[in-house]
Amino acid sequence: MNPLELPLPEQFASALGLKELNPVQELALKAGLLEGTNIVVASPTASGKTAVAEIAIIRHYLNRGKCVYLAPLRALASEKYEEMKEKYEKLGMKIAISTGDFDSAEEWLGRYDVIILTNEKMDSAIRHNASWISGISLVVADEVHTLGDESRGPALEAVLTMLREKTKAQILALSATISNSDEIAKWLDAKLVKSDYRPVKLHKGVVYPDDDLYRVTFWQDGDRKYELDGNNHESAVVKDTMERGKQILIFLSSRRNAESLATKIIPLCSKFLGGEEKKILQRASKDIMNALPTPTKQCEKAAECVKGGVAFHHAGLVQKQRMLIEKLFREGFLKTLTATPTLAFGVNLPSWRVLVRDVRRYSSNYGSDYIPALEVQQFCGRAGRPKYDKEGEAIIAARSESDAEMIIRRYLDSEPEPIMSQLSAESALRMHTLAIIAMGSGATTADVKKFFSKTFFGHQSGDMKKIGKQIEKILYQLEQWNFIERDFAQGDFKPAFAMTEDSIIEATELGKRAAQLYLDPLSAVNIIRNLKAQDALACLVAISTCSEMPLPNLKKAEIEEYSDVLASSNMEDAPEVWDVGYEMYLAAVKCAVILQDWMDERGEDFILDRYALPPGELYTRIRNAEWLLYAGSELALVLGKRQIANDWRKLQLRVKHGVREELLRLVEIKGIGRARARRLWRAGIRTRADIRDATEATLSRILGPKVAKGIKAEAELRKQR
C-alpha cells in the first residue's frame, strides 16, 4: 500500500518517509490503528514499528488529540524527539520532551501535541495530578517488553494501568518478538499484531575454533558457511568484516571487556581507514579527549581508539562522548564498536554484522550465568541497516563445536523467555501502593486491591487473595511509618493490624510528599531517620543506603579501609561487623566517600584512578545524590525542620556543583563552574558583588576575555532581578 493512500493529508503521509507500507504496518491498519483500537505490535527490530506509531500520532493530532510517547531510557526518548521534531514540527505539530525532575507536574507540557517522556517521568506527572493528563488520547508504549525488567518494568506497568483508569486513550504498545505477546495484548484489551517480517534479511550463526581456523556456521542457512583466520574469535570476525568494507558491532559482558577489546583491535581497524576518514577521526578524537575539563585515562583510551577507527560504548562514558561515538558510527567513520548490553536497549544503532562475544555474565547474586535469550535476540536485532543493507549477520561466539551446538539450542532454536511482571517485588509494591493512596481521596483497602488486580501483575497472578495479603502487609508498614492513616466506615475502633476491606485510607502530608518525590517509602523512612545526621559524610551514607543509589563494587581488600572510616565517623545505627548486610553498608560508605571527594573538588581523573569509577557512572551517582538530598530537604520541611532542610539543600548544591561550601555563591552564576569559581576565589573575588565591582580587565586575566564578559553581564543581570 502506498502511504499516500492513507486517509491523511498528503504532506503528513509524505513526511512518514515510506515508499510503501510494509506487512507490519498494513496489519496494524487492518487491526484498527486509525479507528482507536488498542494494539500490541510484536515484531523484530527494524520492522517499521515506529512508523506505525507515527501514523497513529498523526491521526490523533489531526483530531486535536494529545499524544504521549513513552520510552524506557532517556537516550531513546531523545532520539525519538529529534526524529519527530525534524519530520513534523514544520507541519505545525508541537513536540516536547521531558525526562528529568521528578518533583514537578510540568504543566507547560499541556501546550504540546506530542509529549515524549520516560516511563518514570510519566509516573511522576501522574503523581502530581498534571492537568494535561485528562486530555491524552493516544499512549505509545515503546519497548513494552521491558515490563519484564526489574528496574524499569514496575513504573511502565503502573503507568499503563493508571492511564487506562484516568483516560480513554488508545494504547499502542510496541514490542520485540516475545513468546507471550498475546498475554500482554489480553491485559491491555488490545488486538495483537504479530509478525516475523524484517526488511533486512537476518542470518544468525555461531563462530567456533576448529584447528587453525574459525568456522562460522549459520542456523537454518546451511549453505552459508565461512572459514576465517585470526588469533581469536574477535580478530577473525573483525578482519573479515573490514575486508568486506562493512561495520561490526560487538557485544561484551562488561565495561572492562569492551575497552580491552577495542584497544586490541586498533591496528586491525586502522588499516582500513581512508585518508579523509583519518582526518575526521583525528578531529573527533580531540573532542573525545576534551569532553571533560581534565581528561581522564578513559578519555585518553577512548580518543586513541577513535583515532584508529574503533570505539567502546558503555555507561562510564559521559553523554557528550557517547553521542559523538554514535554519530561517527552511524556515518560509517568508525568501523567497529564494542559495547555493553545497555546499547541494545538504547539508541537505534544498527550495523551490518553483530558479534555476541559473551553469553555469560557475572552478577554478585548469581555468579556467572547465561544471559536471557531475549537479550541475545535484542543484540542480534541490531544486525542489518535498513537504509544500506539487504541482509545482515548476527554471530555468537562459542568455545568449541559442542558449545556452538548448545548455543544454537539455547539462543537460536528456541523462543525467548516469557515476559513476567516485576511489580510483585516488595519495593515496587510499596512505592506504587503509596502513590495510589496519595493521588486519591478516601480510598478503601478494597480500592487499592482492585487497582492491583488491573495490573499485569494481577492479570498474570490470578490469585488476588495472595496479592491482597501482600498489599495488607504493605499498608500496615506505611501506617507504622506515618505515611498513611486509616478511618473506618462505621467509625468503630480497630487494632492497628486489622486491615478491613472498608478501611478508608488517606495519605498523610508526609506520605503525599514521599510519593511526589518518587521515593521508595523505605528510602523515605531511611532519610527521615537520618535527618539528624551531624556531618556531611553521615548524610551521604544515609542516602547511599537507599535503594535508588547504585553502589560501587567493594573489593575484599577495601573492607578494612572502609571499616576504619565507619569506626571514626558519627554515624548512628550502623551495623556491626557480624550483622547481615555489613559489607553492603560498607559499599554505601565507599559511595559516600566518593561523593565527599567530589564535593571537596577532586576531579574525575582522581576519582577514576582512586576508585575505578569512570565519569559517566560518577555522574549517575551525582544525579541520584542530588535528588535524594533534595528529597531529604523537602521531607524535613514537611516535618517543620527548616534548619535541617537548609543544611540538606546546601549539601545538594555542593554535590551538584562539586564544590566546597565557600564557592556556592559563585557557582550559582551562569558560566562559572567549579574550576573557574576556585580561580576567582584565589584571586579574592568571592561574591557576585565582587564580580560586579571587578573590572572586565581583571576578570579577563583570571578567566579569559570571552568568559569574563559573559559572567560580568550575568552578574549585572542578577542584580537587576
Q: What is the pLDDT of residues 610-654, one digit of tens each?
A: 999 999 999 999 999 999 999 999 999 999 999 999 999 999 999
Question: Would strands 201-210 and 213-218 be described as parallel, antiparallel, or unpaired?
Answer: antiparallel
- Residue 147 binned pLDDT confidence (cut-offs 50, 70, 90): very high
Using the CB atoms, write b or e for 77-110: b if 16+ within 10 Å. Answer: bbbbbebbbebbeeeebebbbbbeebebbbeebb
Q: What span, in angstroms and rounded, lies between the C-alpha atoms of 394 and 654?
A: 47
Share of the chain above pLDDT 90, in %: 79
Kindly tell me if the per-residue pLDDT of 602 is higher than 60: yes
Strand partners, 67: 114, 138
Q: What span, in angstroms and rounded, lies between the C-alpha atoms of 161 and 180?
A: 19
- The stretches of 422-486 forming alpha helices (DSSP H) are 426-439, 445-453, 456-461, 464-480
DSSP string, 471-494: HHHHHHHHHHTTSEEEEETT----
Structure confidence at residue 45 (pLDDT): 85
Kindly tell me if the per-residue pLDDT of 139 is higher than 80: yes
Structure confidence at residue 223 (pLDDT): 83
Cβ count near 30 (within 10 Å): 10
The DSSP element (H or E) to which 330 belongs, if any, is helix 319-330
Task: Give the mean pLDDT of 407-433.
Answer: 93
Kindly tell me if the per-residue pLDDT of 511 is higher than 50: yes
Structure confidence at residue 465 (pLDDT): 85
Question: Cβ distance 520 to 430 under 8 Å?
Answer: yes
Kindly tell me if the per-residue pLDDT of 462 is higher than 90: no
Task: Give the mean pLDDT of 379-386.
Answer: 89
Q: What is the pLDDT of residues 33-70, one digit of tens each?
A: 999 999 999 999 889 999 999 999 999 999 999 999 99
Q: What is the pLDDT of residues 205-223, one digit of tens each?
A: 999 999 889 999 999 888 8
Structure confidence at residue 490 (pLDDT): 47
Share of the chain above pLDDT 70, in %: 97
Kindly tell me if the per-residue pLDDT of 497 is higher than 50: no
- Phi–psi pair at 62, nearest 5 degrees: -65, -25
**Higher-scoring residue by pLDDT: 706, 385:** 706
- Residue 366 binned pLDDT confidence (cut-offs 50, 70, 90): low
Kindly tell me if the per-residue pLDDT of 721 is higher than 90: no
**Higher-scoring residue by pLDDT: 328, 387:** 328
Q: What span, in angstroms and rounded, lies between the C-alpha atoms of 564 and 211?
A: 54
- Phi–psi pair at 705, nearest 5 degrees: -60, -45
Structure confidence at residue 137 (pLDDT): 98
Kindly tell me if the per-residue pLDDT of 492 is higher than 50: no
Question: Cβ distance 356 to 397 under 8 Å?
Answer: yes
Which of 487, 585, 583 has its CA nearest to residue 542? 585
Which of 624, 626, 603 has its CA nearest to residue 673? 603
Kindly tell me if the per-residue pLDDT of 489 is higher than 60: no
Kindly tell me if the per-residue pLDDT of 479 is higher than 60: yes
The DSSP element (H or E) to which 504 belongs, if any, is strand 503-507
Question: Would strands 503-507 and 484-488 be described as parallel, antiparallel, or unpaired?
Answer: antiparallel
- Phi–psi pair at 192, nearest 5 degrees: -100, 125
Q: What is the pLDDT of residues 313-335, one digit of tens each?
A: 999 999 999 999 999 999 999 99
- Residue 672 binned pLDDT confidence (cut-offs 50, 70, 90): very high
Task: Give the mean pLDDT of 568-591.
Answer: 88
Q: Per DSSP, which regions of 186-224 are E strands?
A: 191-194, 201-210, 213-218
Question: Cβ distance 471 to 452 under 8 Å?
Answer: yes
Grid cell digits, residue 16: 512518514
Structure confidence at residue 443 (pLDDT): 82
Question: Would strands 170-175 and 39-42 be described as parallel, antiparallel, or unpaired?
Answer: parallel
> Any idea which residue has 511509618 for its cell?
481
Question: Cβ distance 696 to 709 under 8 Å?
Answer: yes
Structure confidence at residue 493 (pLDDT): 45
Grid cell digits, residue 328: 561517527
Structure confidence at residue 491 (pLDDT): 47
Kindly tell me if the per-residue pLDDT of 499 is higher than 80: no
Structure confidence at residue 263 (pLDDT): 97
Strand partners, 217: 206, 225
Which of 704, 644, 650 has its CA nearest to residue 672? 704
**pTM across the whole model:** 0.92
- Structural domains in the chain, sorted by start: 3-194 (3.40.50.300), 426-516 (1.10.10.10), 521-658 (1.10.3380.30), 664-720 (1.10.150.20)
Q: What is the pLDDT of residues 221-267, one digit of tens each?
A: 888 899 999 889 999 999 999 999 999 999 999 999 999 999 999 99
Structure confidence at residue 189 (pLDDT): 98
- Residue 503 binned pLDDT confidence (cut-offs 50, 70, 90): confident
Residue count of the chain, please give it. Answer: 721
Q: What span, in angstroms and rounded, lies between the C-alpha atoms of 425 and 149?
A: 11
Task: Give the mean pLDDT of 670-696.
Answer: 93
Structure confidence at residue 269 (pLDDT): 95
Question: Cβ distance 629 to 543 under 8 Å?
Answer: yes
When mean pLDDT is compared across 13-17, 113-117, 465-469, 682-686, the lowest value belongs to 465-469
Structure confidence at residue 241 (pLDDT): 96
Contacts of residues 228-235 at CB distance under 8 Å and 24 or more positions apart, as own/partner, are: 233/207, 233/209, 233/355, 233/357, 233/397, 234/261, 234/264, 234/265, 234/355, 234/357, 234/397, 235/264, 235/265, 235/268
Strand partners, 504: 444, 487
Residue 194 is classified by DSSP as E
